[in-house]
């Protein structure tokens, strides 16, 4: 993802930057969960205001 060369500092090689599984999980929590909540509330508002169900739960049942 990042094309950065490995650096050597005082004889020690510093590994390249990488996207870890924990970073992916935190990105999901920071961006994905609020987005799901906001869109779910928008679907709920559409259902109450206009009587049209646009949520995923409408297609399952």
pLDDT at residue number 2: 54
Element of type H or E holding 12: strand 12-14
Mean pLDDT for back-to-back runs of 10 residues, the chain (61 residues): 70 86 94 91 87 76 54
pLDDT at residue number 18: 86
Residue burial 7-21, b: 16+ Cβ < 10 Å; e: rest:
eeeeeeeeeeeeeee
pLDDT at residue number 24: 93
DSSP-derived secondary structure letter, 17: P
pLDDT at residue number 21: 94
């Amino acid at each position: 993802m990042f094309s950065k060369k490995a650096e050597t500092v005082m004889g020690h090689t510093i590994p390249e930057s990488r996207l870890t599984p924990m970073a992916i999980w935190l990105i999901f929590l920071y961006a994905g969960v609020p987005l799901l909540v906001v869109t779910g509330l928008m679907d709920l508002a559409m259902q109450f205001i206009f009587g049209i169900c646009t949520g995923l739960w409408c297609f399952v049942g």
